[in-house]
Each structure stands twice: as C-alpha cells, then as structure tokens.
Amino acid sequence: MKHTLPALASTLSLIAGFALADSHASAPEPVATADIKTLDGTVLGTATVTPGTNGILIHLKVEGAAPGPKGVHLHQIGDCDPATEFKSAGPHIGDADNAHGLLHPDGPHAGDLPNLYVGADGTGEMQAITSAVSLEETPGGLLDSDGASVMIHAEGDDHFTQPGGNTGARLACGVLEPAS
Ligand SMILES: [Cu+2]
C-alpha cells in the first residue's frame, strides 16, 4: 500500500495535467478583426470574429461614443467609404431573404445583431453568437471575395421596423480583415 498510493497519486496528477493542457490548447483565436471608424476617421472601437461550437462569436468594444443603445449589423460588402456615408458597405447580409429584425416574424436578416449599449462614460461592449452567417461561403460570407463590414448605427435597433430597425444614420463602420 505504501508504495502504490504515491504511484496512483502521480498517475492521477499526470492525467489531470494532460486534461488541463488539452483544454487550454483548444481555445480558438479570432479569425477576423475590424477597426471601426466614424465618418471623420476617428477609431470608435474594434470587433473580433471567433468561430465557436454553436456559431460565430462577434465581440465589439467601443469608447468615445455617445451614450445609449446602438444598432449593430453585419453589412454585405467590406467597404467603409466615408464619402458615401458608409452606403458602400451595402445592405445587411441576407436582406434579400427575410425581413429585418430579430423580433420580426418574417425575419431576421442574417446580419442582424443585438444592440450595443454605450454607458455614460462613452464605453460600450457587446458579445453575440450567431449561426446565421458563415465565414467564407457566398453570398454574405464574412470573409468572402467582397468581404463584410461591421456597422454601428446612431440609434438602437427596435428589431422590427423595416428596413433597418429605426437605427438611423450609419455612425461607424469597420471592414472585417482576416486576423494575422
Ligand atoms: Cu445596418
């Protein structure tokens, strides 16, 4: 007994060590990121895209924004041209397939996301899992040949009104680029 117990203990710690190392090794990294800028070129924040088991995790962080809810969508084209007031980013991903709105009975667009909430200090953060978009396949893939953009709107999305949920102007836009 005196010999087998320590042997058993060291075997168990070896197994635990392998299990721990394994779970850490599999933590996925973002596959795409976007710097989100306003019309005058100010960087408002960043977005990352990380594939998970139940979908793609979108993680958005901003600072220096006006407080309150902001609509957030994935738009079809990776082009944030301020001269077009970001209309160069095109419509929401999946806008031809469904109505707009996470709460619309005929919705949502694949690119519809929950609102970002900005606090009184101008910072805000949002995380959402979506299985409505893919990374590569067209149409609407986040990293397909025409890319995709993360758009922050001036007003919160009511998730129902057509075509954009009453979110108002396109406040800030970021082109998703493959993470290096
Ligand atoms: Cu939008």
Ligand 1 center to 162 CA (angstroms): 11
Of 15-19, 66-70, 108-112, 175-179, the range with the lowest mean pLDDT is 15-19
Q: Predicted confidence band at 21 (pLDDT cuts at 50, 70, 90)?
A: low
Ligand 1 centroid, distance to 10 Cα (angstroms): 56
> How far, in Å, from the CA of 37 to the mean position of ligand 1?
14
| Backbone dihedral region for residue 94 (phi beyond 0: left; psi -120 to 50: alpha; all else: beta) | left
Mean pLDDT of all residues in the chain?
Answer: 89
- CA of residue 90 to ligand 1 center, whole Å: 9
Residues 6+ apart with CB under 8 A from 35: 43, 46, 174
* The pairing of beta strand 149-153 with beta strand 72-75: antiparallel
State the distance from the centre of ligand 1 to the C-alpha of 47, rounded, in angstroms: 15
Which domains occur in the chain, in start order?
32-178 (2.60.40.200)
CA distances from 10 to 6, 7, 13, 14, 15 (A): 6, 5, 5, 6, 9
Q: Which of 6-15, 40-49, 120-129, 159-168 has the lowest mean pLDDT?
A: 6-15
How far is 90 from 52, CA to CA, in rounded Å? 27
Residue where the block lists tokens 């129902």: 160
Q: Give me the torsion for CA of 62, 32, 55, 111, rounded to 10°.
A: 60
Give 38 Cα–ligand 1 centroid separation in angstroms. Answer: 14
Separation of CA 28 and ligand 1 centre (Å)? 27
Ligand 1 centroid – CA 9 distance (Å): 57
pLDDT at 23 over 90: no
The predicted pLDDT at position 125 comes to 98
Q: What are the structure tokens assigned to 50, written together? A: 């990380």
Give the mean model confidence (pLDDT) for residues 18-39. Answer: 79
Distance 8 CA to ligand 1 centre (A): 59
pLDDT digits (tens, 9 = 90+) for 69-116: 999 999 999 999 999 999 999 999 999 999 999 999 999 999 999 999
